[in-house]
Amino acid sequence: MLHTHSLYYDHLKAEELAFLRKVADFCAREIAPHATEWEETEELPRDLFTKAGRAGLMGVMAPVSVGGQGFGKLCYALTIEELARHCGAFAMNLAAHNALCVGHPLHFASEELKKKIFPSVLNGDWMVAWALTEPNAGSDTSGVTTAATLQPDGIWELNGHKTYITMGNHSDRMIVMAVSGVDEKGRKEFSAYWINSAGATKVRKVPTAGVCPSNTSELKLEKVSGELIGVRGKGQNAALACLDIGRLGIVGMSLGLGRAAMEIAQQRMLTRKQFGKRIAQFQALQFMLADCEVELRAAEALLLQAAVMSDRGQCHTLEGSIAKLYASEVASRACNRCLQICGSWGYTRDTFVERYWRDARLCEIGEGSSEVQRFIISRTLHKEAEMTASRSRSWRRSRARGRGCRRVAGAGESAGPLRIPPRRACGRTG
Ligand SMILES: Cc1cc2nc3c(=O)[nH]c(=O)nc-3n(C[C@H](O)[C@H](O)[C@H](O)COP(=O)(O)OP(=O)(O)OC[C@H]3O[C@@H](n4cnc5c(N)ncnc54)[C@H](O)[C@@H]3O)c2cc1C
């Protein structure tokens, strides 16, 4: 579970630590004995979600008042990490469920809608999917064409095509991002809708390289009734805010997969003998493990930074992107090295390393690819640099006009401008 070196202990409440112990028990009891079978059948059983809901895993961050656990972002990410050690597909499902399917209505829906859907969304009675991606709208969410039209009777009608939607075809309810009109500048206006998934038409389960038991779905919406979530035209901002939290879940998933692969490789190094020695004695392999450890610890520190900022209510778009980018790439590298350490055995399905390796690859793509994270990071840095330059210019102007701006005067140094941290620009591509 948590490592003794971990700084996490300083940032988790006693109830959160107790909950994480329960999550570990849940994994040992409900997931570990079945994960291989689910990989073969490429299905996750429905009652797994019900059990997870009853155990509080479907509402980790939702407040107790609506039926959730009321825990923080770090606890959420560590829950996903523990799940990923046993089943990457289920971890991905619960990462999306908690951050997107619960987070979206929790923070943006009307009280009336919230009353209607909670606690069924949290207790495992309903499986919910979150549908943004379309055949022509992946990284560039402005490509969404699913249309929402307000009917004369006041009901919204949705028509469109969604793809790569986690559990879309197995869901009971779905949150759908759609174009609800155009704004005053003629740009597409996006809104989010709550629909009954029974109205959607299943196209197929998309076969994937990893996270195979997850039902990655393609579906169509033809005259499906939807209920507006929150304010019309604010759907994209809401979606992006939810993705900020969702990325912390992907960090957790990355760490879980990387750590699980390392545990197998370490054991293999102790038992496998070649050239009359345990392979643990080969420095080439020792160094591979050393690199895995260093990188995973660095990713843990980045998770901590982003999660603590998020829990403090600070904008953490930049920190979340940094953590997601780094942790997902680290997980892929770690799984790849561990597979190499295990040799042919690692490449077979007699062990789990190859599954972790395939599952980890998803972390570099889902909820914003690595390239999109680099784009977000560089754009945020650029905006901050522009703001600093603009503040500095206005300070120089006001000084030239002699209007006495606020100053800090350190001992023995000339007074300079008060350094106010630039305001974070939070908008970005999904
Ligand atoms: C297993 C799985 C589950 C998923 N679950 C969901 C879900 O539940 N709901 C949902 O809405 N979506 C879901 N997705 C979709 C996922 O979020 C998108 O696939 C992802 O955002 C990337 O979009 P894309 O695949 O269309 O890639 P594209 O946007 O087509 O990108 C192709 C390549 O171009 C790169 N690229 C794109 N734009 C830029 C740029 N500006 N600069 C540099 N490079 C760029 C990308 O990084 C990528 O390498 C899921 C996907 C998978 C595989």
pTM over 0.85: yes
The response to whether residue 130 sits with its C-beta less than 6 Å from ligand 1 reads: yes
Per-residue pLDDT reduced to its tens digit, 176-195: 999 999 988 999 999 999 99
When divided into structural domains, the chain yields a total of 3
- Asked, for residue 251, whether it belongs to a domain, the answer is yes
Report d(CA 391, CA 277) in Å as an integer: 64
Report d(CA 341, CA 154) in Å as an integer: 61
- Asked, for residue 363, whether it belongs to a domain, the answer is yes
Nearest to 137 by CA among 100, 172, 162, 105: 162
- Asked, for residue 427, whether it belongs to a domain, the answer is no
Please report, as a single letter, which amino acid is at residue 429. T
Give me ligand 1 centre to Cα 368, in Å: 6
Residue 398 confidence (pLDDT): 86
Q: Which DSSP string corresponds to 332-392?
A: HHHHHHHHHHHHHHHHSTTSSHHHHHHHHHHHTTTTS-HHHHHHHHHHHHHHHHHHHHHHH
Residue 1 confidence (pLDDT): 60
Where does 108-246 show beta strands of DSSP type E? Answer: 128-131, 147-150, 156-166, 173-182, 188-196, 201-205, 216-229
Q: Mean pLDDT throughout 232-257? A: 97
57-71, 228-242, 325-339, 397-411: least confidently modelled range: 397-411
- Asked, for residue 423, whether it belongs to a domain, the answer is no
- Asked, for residue 92, whether it belongs to a domain, the answer is yes
- Asked, for residue 72, whether it belongs to a domain, the answer is yes
Mean pLDDT of the chain: 93
Structure tokens at 303: 């998770």
Which is the closest atom of ligand 1 to the Cα of 139?
Answer: 29
Give me ligand 1 centre to Cα 264, in Å: 30
* CATH number of the domain bearing residue 176: 2.40.110.10
Residue 8 confidence (pLDDT): 85
**Same domain assignment for residues 246 and 269:** yes
Which is the closest atom of ligand 1 to the Cα of 166?
Answer: 8
Residue 354 confidence (pLDDT): 98
Where does the pLDDT of residue 420 fall: very low under 50, low under 70, confident under 90, or very high at 90 and above? Answer: very low
The response to whether residue 104 sits with its C-beta less than 6 Å from ligand 1 reads: no
Give me ligand 1 centre to Cα 295, in Å: 25
Q: What interhelical angle do 353-363 and 317-347 show, nearest 10?
A: 150
Q: With contact defined as beta carbons under 8 Å apart, do 176 and 128 qualify?
A: no
Where does the pLDDT of residue 4 fall: very low under 50, low under 70, confident under 90, or very high at 90 and above? Answer: low
Q: Residue 284: in which H helix or E strand, if any?
A: helix 283-311
Domain that holds residue 100: 7-117
The response to whether residue 108 sits with its C-beta less than 6 Å from ligand 1 reads: no
**Same domain assignment for residues 81 and 208:** no
Q: Whose CA is nearest to atom 27 of ligand 1?
A: 138
Last residue of a domain, one of 117, 141, 159: 117
Report d(CA 156, CA 85) in Å as an integer: 41
**Same domain assignment for residues 228 and 246:** no
> 176 by DSSP, 3-state: which?
strand
3-7, 37-41, 158-162: least confidently modelled range: 3-7
- Asked, for residue 179, whether it belongs to a domain, the answer is yes
The response to whether residue 366 sits with its C-beta less than 6 Å from ligand 1 reads: yes
Give me ligand 1 centre to Cα 395, in Å: 42
**Same domain assignment for residues 111 and 134:** no
Nearest to 428 by CA among 141, 222, 202, 194: 141
**Same domain assignment for residues 44 and 111:** yes
**Same domain assignment for residues 243 and 141:** no
Residue 129 confidence (pLDDT): 98
* CATH number of the domain bearing residue 359: 1.20.140.10
**Same domain assignment for residues 358 and 331:** yes
- Distant-in-sequence, close-in-space partners of 287: CB < 8 Å, separation ≥ 6: none
**Same domain assignment for residues 98 and 222:** no
The response to whether residue 164 sits with its C-beta less than 6 Å from ligand 1 reads: yes
Question: Vertex 359, ends 354 and 360: CA angle to 5°?
Answer: 100
* CATH number of the domain bearing residue 75: 1.10.540.10
Residue 402 confidence (pLDDT): 75
Which is the closest atom of ligand 1 to the Cα of 137?
Answer: 26
Give me ligand 1 centre to Cα 134, in Å: 10
**Same domain assignment for residues 112 and 12:** yes
The response to whether residue 371 sits with its C-beta less than 6 Å from ligand 1 reads: yes
Please report, as a single letter, which amino acid is at residue 308. V
- Distant-in-sequence, close-in-space partners of 220: CB < 8 Å, separation ≥ 6: 160, 161, 162, 200, 201, 203
From 167, 177, 212, 369, mutation site for ligand 1 pocket: most ligand atoms within 8 A of C-beta: 369
Residue 352 class from Cβ within 10 Å (0-12 exposed, 13-18 middle, 19+ buried)?
buried
- Asked, for residue 408, whether it belongs to a domain, the answer is no
**Same domain assignment for residues 218 and 329:** no
Last residue of a domain, one of 342, 373, 404: 373
Report d(CA 141, CA 135) in Å as an integer: 11
Task: State how far the alpha carbon of 139 is from the alpha carbons of 113, 188, 205, 257, 290, in Å.
Answer: 29, 16, 21, 24, 34
**Same domain assignment for residues 81 and 156:** no
Per-residue pLDDT reduced to its tens digit, 283-335: 999 999 999 999 999 999 999 999 999 999 999 999 999 999 999 999 999 99
**Same domain assignment for residues 25 and 101:** yes
The response to whether residue 211 sits with its C-beta less than 6 Å from ligand 1 reads: yes
DSSP 137: B
Last residue of a domain, one of 181, 216, 233: 233
